Structure 1
């Protein structure tokens, strides 16, 4: 049955619906609804994400109205919303909610048998920012992404409201902000207005930490939308009272997808897919998803992004010298001078200047996180140095490494396998030795390696001090020597690459290293690897800090998570799960040798 702009009629009778739960990353069980495919030729699954104050019941109508009968539909209640547990409007962090989404999609894929490549996501408002952040940070190979009025910038109306919320959150901790939005400013549909006003599951408060982190995540993914290559459709409500249009257009302009569409819907309020004339929007969504599934899945090949790609262009700009007499040239010259002065009194800065700020010695100091320096002033400067956002991200990366190493060892043990470990570039070894000591399963052996004799000596001393010499060794070896890695015995069941590939732009080096690891392994061996898809201080690092390579400027080429995952997949690994810090800087992933 055809739809008109004045009414929305179902293509078929209402679908049968099931209710269920899934366990998220921290064990919390979140509620979701599921509508099985009713068509004769099932094609895949569509996941629906609701607005920030709503729940799965508010998007349930789409399962029928979209008329995509060959697709199963899934819709969750986000943590702290609807019938899912948690304080209303609260989540530990926006990153935790993004991780929830990753767990939900993996649950859908595992329980339905639908591959992630055959999943599409339709998301509204805050849900659209959540979906965008997930696609940016986790690089899932989904078939299509539809974003309806993404809340990249919420209109708070009160002057300096965001700054006030941030200040109060810092002084007093998390508090709740109630939604001011009336239903009549969300949609022109009288039935939707009435149901919103009477719905007991509507969650009007939002926690201050989530609101602030929503802004931060949105700014990051809008600025770095080139990293997103999934086919994407953007629906913009023309008369939106809730969110601003400009960041939505900027996101579209930056979007790296080869297949992308933008539709501005004149007169639509914020509830784009629940508007009175939503048939107009739904027709576009239906056509887009059908078109995306009509062609074989064909992701962009990013394995040569080090030769031609936007992060290569970014790194080239950072490596270009500045006119010494220009304002920026003078600014960064003074910054370098301040670092040299700081090295006179701060132990951490002195270590960075001496060995390189990306060296194993500096990272070991950052992991230790104990300010030291000349007198109280020196210790204060050292504390400020250690609290830089990049170093906070490094320490969170260490925690994620320990978590996934533990999970990997338990997985191997449960499969009845041996548990021989290999870390190909361990630095001083602190993070991996801490992981070994805290893991539930003791590895059969652990071989740590590094190219630097300084790191090897420090690592051996640490192994002896900890009393681990009976099964842990430390050797000097090049992590990019593929033949040397392939010849390692005993063959590793678990290989670890942390903080190494991020320091080298050339993907050929990374491919050779991964190939050596893969050849050393038996099928179903595990790989823990890190990546840095984003950093807010790239220019400061490039213009002011030096690397371990002869004191030259520390210029980093970021790898998007999709690029890194493709290199790992090309070596014969399948990513199983991932962690990322709340700032979106460092990822840690676990993959299986297939």
Structure 2
């Protein structure tokens, strides 16, 4: 078999860093692309045998050197964060589309070990419309042979900051292929070190993705090494069992070491991957319909469990009763907790307080309690969401200006409007008009005061309106070029309500205009929120039904919008997306 010619290229990722990648163009007329992601410590050259061995002449192949690996820049084995590397994946796929012409629906992914965790996280958090993915020995749980290694690493990281540890794995425990062993040992681009920051985040994200694998709906094949010295089998099995994809399969390869796609007898694994890819590309893009997920589905079941009261004298019932009592006591000291009890922890007033991020309370103790409250992971994520909203609003303004659209902004549930007004205050492009709306009289009054304080009364106004009244939204004049709905749909479980609201936005926004929308596909404190915090709806318990990113994107697409970009915080909690209204 003749080796395919290879091109050595670079792409600029989201923070301006140029990453290296290889491209093997299709031999025949291309029908798709396979994008490959290497193991930890390695680089794209370690997968260079696969374009020939997979024998898919109608497919382009791509493989990057991850940030901090191979010929890509950065400290060896490091990244600014695991989330930054996940976003690198999205930027790479965007680049392949822009430069080489492959839409996500024409892309299959092949990823191994740490690369497979990266891809699983990307598919969970960004919900790309790729055709399929093959995951080889995903490193959902690395075998650490030193007792208490993980808590020890976490403690040292907290005390010292970032540092590096070297891999203990020898080539002879990765593959039986002696040529691969020798090339691993002699390869100067192999990165033995990995930063503690990335190793700890790898564990955290792997656990999150395995636990919430039902959110992943991309057709998936798992290739598992049966004699793996490096990673555990059980999380791989749990991942497949929970996976939400309509097509999913697992193949355990007896005797294989960790380098599944570089093993001596890899012809078996390669043949299974090839057959799976061909099968998935021979049929239309496969996705379950998630627009009825409020009627049946795992997030509905989860929300119903959280809404059920616990037996008062059970251990969990007593625990959450004590937590509620502690929150009431906290309200006597902390201004933020007091405000949450008064207006709802999901209210616009609470949101504005979290945005301002200034601790207030009764004396030093009250301010300490309030600071602890404001620094909870959920509120940190909310403030990051605000920054992402500001970024995408500025990008939407720039796009609309380039498109020749009038710069008119509509936010249908603005709260106090702080994030919109502050984003527009820092924008290089000034909109012609800003219409903020909210259902709460408190929010409308506070928003009008904020407009005056920001000196924007000449272009901004605030009115009371229902964000689920499609006719009212559709009747907005003049028609906006940019619509925003932030933090609203997350509070309402019913997709029919969301679809009605999105339908109104689709009628209101000019053709070719833009929609910015938020999501909350995951939250580490769902039970705390449901059992200890109250909502703005008459002080009822704040029980949320999560929407996966795939579900939220389907609702937006059904309303006539095409998703363009997305941001997500480093914990995987809050997303902000930018979509264009189809003409």
Can you list the C-alpha shifts for 1:473-519, whole angstroms capped at 9, x where unaligned?
11111111100000101111111111000000000111011110110
Match among 36, 41, 46 for residue 25 of structure 2: 36
Match among 462, 466, 469 for residue 478 of structure 1: 466
Match among 22, 38, 47 for residue 11 of structure 2: 22
SS of 1:197's equivalent? helix
Aligned to 1:107: 95
Q: For 2:480 and 2:157, locate their aligned partners in 1 and report how far apart those are by CA, in whole Å.
A: 47
Match among 201, 208, 215 for residue 213 of structure 1: 201
Deviation at 1:178, TM superposition (A): 1.0
Match among 335, 338, 341 for residue 353 of structure 1: 341
Can you list the C-alpha shifts for 1:523-559, whole angstroms capped at 9, x where unaligned?
1100110000000111110011000001000000000
Match among 174, 179, 189 for residue 191 of structure 1: 179
Aligned to 1:547: 535
Aligned to 2:62: 74
SS of 1:155's equivalent? coil
Match among 544, 558, 561 for residue 556 of structure 1: 544
2:412 aligned with 1:424: yes
Can you list the C-alpha shifts for 1:546-593, whole angstroms capped at 9, x where unaligned?
000010000000000000000000000000010000110000000000
Deviation at 1:110, TM superposition (A): 2.1
Q: For 2:249 and 2:145, locate their aligned partners in 1 and report how far apart those are by CA, in whole Å.
A: 30
Deviation at 1:100, TM superposition (A): 0.3
Deviation at 1:451, TM superposition (A): 0.4
2:302 aligned with 1:302: no
Can you list the C-alpha shifts for 1:270-327, whole angstroms capped at 9, x where unaligned?
1000000000100110111111111111311100000011100000111111111211
Aligned to 2:127: 139
Deviation at 1:341, TM superposition (A): 1.0
Q: For 1:522 and 1:463, locate their aligned partners in 2 and report how far apart those are by CA, in whole Å.
A: 25
Can you list the C-alpha shifts for 1:141-174, whole angstroms capped at 9, x where unaligned?
1111100010111112111111111111111111
Can you list the C-alpha shifts for 1:4-57, whole angstroms capped at 9, x where unaligned?
xxxxxxxx3110111111111111111111011113x42200000000100100
Over the residues paired in the alignment, what is the CA RMSD in angstroms? 0.8
Can you list the C-alpha shifts for 1:213-252, whole angstroms capped at 9, x where unaligned?
1001000000000011111001111111111111111111
2:13 aligned with 1:58: no
SS of 1:345's equivalent? coil
Aligned to 1:279: 267
SS of 2:534's equivalent? coil
SS of 1:363's equivalent? helix
2:482 aligned with 1:515: no
Q: For 2:200 and 2:461, locate their aligned partners in 1 and report how far apart those are by CA, in whole Å.
A: 46
Q: For 2:68 and 2:404, locate their aligned partners in 1 and report how far apart those are by CA, in whole Å.
A: 39
Aligned to 2:188: 200
Q: For 1:62 and 1:493, locate their aligned partners in 2 and report how far apart those are by CA, in whole Å.
A: 46
Aligned to 1:440: 428
Number of aligned positions between the proteins = 582
Q: For 1:188 and 1:522, locate their aligned partners in 2 and report how far apart those are by CA, in whole Å.
A: 61
Residues 171, 184 of structure 2: 8 Å contact kept: yes
SS of 2:198's equivalent? helix
Superposed, which structure 2 residues align to 1:354-369 within 5 Å? 354-369=342-357
Q: For 2:347 and 2:581, locate their aligned partners in 1 and report how far apart those are by CA, in whole Å.
A: 29
Superposed, which structure 2 residues align to 1:151-190 within 5 Å? 151-190=139-178
Q: For 2:432 and 2:179, locate their aligned partners in 1 and report how far apart those are by CA, in whole Å.
A: 64
Match among 472, 478, 481 for residue 493 of structure 1: 481
Residues 227, 254 of structure 2: 8 Å contact kept: yes
Q: For 2:129 and 2:372, locate their aligned partners in 1 and report how far apart those are by CA, in whole Å.
A: 39
Aligned to 1:525: 513
Aligned to 2:572: 584
Match among 335, 343, 346 for residue 331 of structure 2: 343
Can you list the C-alpha shifts for 1:108-155, whole angstroms capped at 9, x where unaligned?
122222221111000000000000000000000111110001011111
Q: For 1:590 and 1:29, locate their aligned partners in 2 and report how far apart those are by CA, in whole Å.
A: 24
Aligned to 1:385: 373
| Farther off after superposition, 271-280 or 149-158 | 149-158
Unaligned runs of 5+ in 2: none
2:243 aligned with 1:255: yes
TM-score (norm 2): 0.99
Unaligned runs of 5+ in 1: 1-11
TM-score (norm 1): 0.97
Aligned to 1:7: none
Q: For 1:163 and 1:325, locate their aligned partners in 2 and report how far apart those are by CA, in whole Å.
A: 33
2:240 aligned with 1:232: no
Q: For 2:392 and 2:528, locate their aligned partners in 1 and report how far apart those are by CA, in whole Å.
A: 31
Q: For 1:573 and 1:120, locate their aligned partners in 2 and report how far apart those are by CA, in whole Å.
A: 24
Q: For 2:34 and 2:332, locate their aligned partners in 1 and report how far apart those are by CA, in whole Å.
A: 58
| Farther off after superposition, 192-201 or 409-418 | 409-418
Q: For 2:564 and 2:434, locate their aligned partners in 1 and report how far apart those are by CA, in whole Å.
A: 22
Superposed, which structure 2 residues align to 1:5-16 within 5 Å? 12-16=1-5
Q: For 2:41 and 2:443, locate their aligned partners in 1 and report how far apart those are by CA, in whole Å.
A: 51
SS of 2:434's equivalent? strand
State the 4+ residue runs in structure 1 displaced beyond 4 angstroms: none
Residues 54, 274 of structure 2: 8 Å contact kept: yes
